[in-house]
Every structure is written in C-alpha cells, then in structure tokens.
Structure 1
Amino acid sequence: MGLQQVKPHAEIEEIWPRDGRIRLVGRIHGLPRDDAAGDWRLVLTRRAHADRRLRYDARLKGDRFESELPIDDLAAPDYAAVEEWDIHLTDGRAQLRAGRHLDDIRGKKKILVYPEQRTGNLGVRPYYTVKDNLSLECRPGGAA
C-alpha cells in the first residue's frame, strides 16, 4: 500500500514531557522550502474556548523545528472535567496542525500513551487524537 497524500502539517518526531515542560521536535511537511522560512510560532488553542490561545517561539533549521512550553501556562480557573488544547505551528500565513502521519502507525490514540505531569491541581499530558493529530489533555485533580 502506498503513502496517502498528506496535506501540509507539522510532523511531530519527538515529544518530551518532563520537568514541567513539554518539548516538541519535528519538521514542516508539505510546504515549499521557501515557505518554510521565516518566524514560526507554536500555538495552542483551547478547544472549548477557541479565543484562548498560547504562543511560543519555534526554532527552525531548514524544515526542522523545535519548541517547548511550560505546563504552568495551561492552568485556568474555569476548567471542565477534561480540557483539550490543539497544537499548531504558524508563521502568520500558514497554520499547520501538529501530528504524526508519516510513520505507518494508525490509531495512535489507543497505542501511544505519554506520562502525565502535574502543575498544582492540574494533570497535563500530550495525546494523539483519532486523526493522529497531537493535542494536550488537562484534568483538574489529575487522571481519573
């Protein structure tokens, strides 16, 4: 079976959840090389409140990127039982969803489990969605 056509995205290659931070390493996939230049930022969007966004610098070298975020920034007083943050990489023109689509592993949501970190009374962990995109899950009180 051949590779399916995959739209431009931020292909995640490494996830490092530790020491109160989440570090992401990957590469920009599907954009012409000239379009991958410029100032890129990692953007987290709170799914239940799309107007709530967090932005972090992303370091680029060629098409490879690296960024990290402190989990303390994810704390909010109005959390439901589970809150999710979607992750994108943007240069202000293109907005690329972060995910892992080029590795032949489908259904990562049920296969790959990352450790939870705690900040105050909040448990935070990266996870893959049913579409193999990367998001963050936050649970007040931690995992059930």
Structure 2
Amino acid sequence: MKPHAEIDEVWPRDGRIRLVGRIHGRTTDGTDGTDGTDGTDGVDGDWRLVLIRRAHPGRRLDYPARLQGDRFESEWPVADLAASDYAAVEEWDIHLSDGSTELRAGRHLDDVRGKKKIFVYPEQRVGGLAVRPYYTVKDNLSLECRSRTGGTA
C-alpha cells in the first residue's frame, strides 16, 4: 500500500474540523517503506495539513499539523472554506505534506470497504455554506461544501 495519512478520528463540531491520524508507509529518509517495515518510526519535518479545492487545484489552504512520532493532529475553521466563486457543490481533498511530498488522507487499514455509504458525518453551516467531511469511493477523506440559502453558523 502506498504511503498515506491514515485517519483515525474525524471531529466536525463547534465551527471546526479536527483530524487525528498517523503517517503510514513513510520512513525517516522519505522512502516509501516497502522493504517490509511499517515505515513510520521517526517521521520528522515541518508537516502541514493541506486542503486542495478539486475544481481549482491552485486554490489551497494549509494548516499546521502537530506530530508526535508517526501520529498527527490538525484542525481548521469551517469558515475558511467559504469562497465567493463557489459552485453549488465544491469538494476539497485532504493531504498531509512535509513540503516535498503530499500524502493523501484516508482510512485504508481497517478492512471496512465502502465507507462513503457507511460513515456519515454531520454538516456544519457557516453563512450560506454547509460543510461536511465524507469518504470517497476510494476511502479517502474529502470535504463537501454545498451552497445553502439563509442559514448561519
């Protein structure tokens, strides 16, 4: 399995989304760890959580990721996802990056397939936007932002 940011916990509440997980398949020298080891000991560097707007990949948001060993934690305010040029539905893909490598965030090591239909997270509203985390058909974690008329957070 290729290196990725394995998500253990998703906490969408209080106007923020918090993720907790671990880096899987990456060694200290930046290789992919395919030599039979788990490849997670001593991951170092300045890691950031990166949100990439799928329709406009040049539009990126990034936030500090706190690392302890191979474990990471990061959070961001839902309001940061509001943009004036939104379509009715926008999607953001989530990555963990050390500046040279971007690891896709997802949940692949739990033997549960088809998370898109199983895991349903609550939406949060900010202004006219409803935001909710969801798993893709490949069990990667993304964000869905839908235009809503009226509501406020």
TM range (shorter): over 0.9
% of aligned pairs identical? 77
2:21 matched to 1:26? yes
Instruction: State the distance in 1 between where 2:85 and 2:15 align.
Output: 21
Match in the other structure for 1:45: 52
Instruction: State the distance in 2 between where 1:69 and 1:101 align.
Output: 23
Amino acid at match of 1:18: R
Unaligned runs of 5+ in 2: 31-42
TM-score of the pair, normalised by structure 1: 0.93
Match in the other structure for 1:78: 85
Instruction: State the distance in 1 between where 2:102 and 2:133 align.
Output: 20
Query: Is contact 1:99–1:133 with CA below 8 Å preserved after alignment?
Result: yes
Greater Cα radius of gyration, structure 1 or 2 = 2
Match in the other structure for 2:34: none
Match of 2:133 among 122, 126, 138: 126
Instruction: State the distance in 1 between where 2:26 and 2:57 align.
Output: 25
Match in the other structure for 2:38: none
Match in the other structure for 2:112: 105
How far did 1:33 drift? 3.8
Query: Is contact 1:33–1:63 with CA below 8 Å preserved after alignment?
Result: no
Match of 1:17 among 12, 16, 21: 12
Query: Is contact 1:25–1:65 with CA below 8 Å preserved after alignment?
Result: yes
Q: Secondary structure at the match of 1:27?
A: strand
RMSD: 1.0
Cα deviation per residue 1:28-62 (whole Å; 9 max; x = unaligned)?
00001454201100000000011100000000000
Unaligned runs of 5+ in 1: 1-5
Cα deviation per residue 1:73-125 (whole Å; 9 max; x = unaligned)?
00011111110000000001221000000000000001110000000110000
Match in the other structure for 2:37: none
Query: Is contact 1:8–1:28 with CA below 8 Å preserved after alignment?
Result: yes
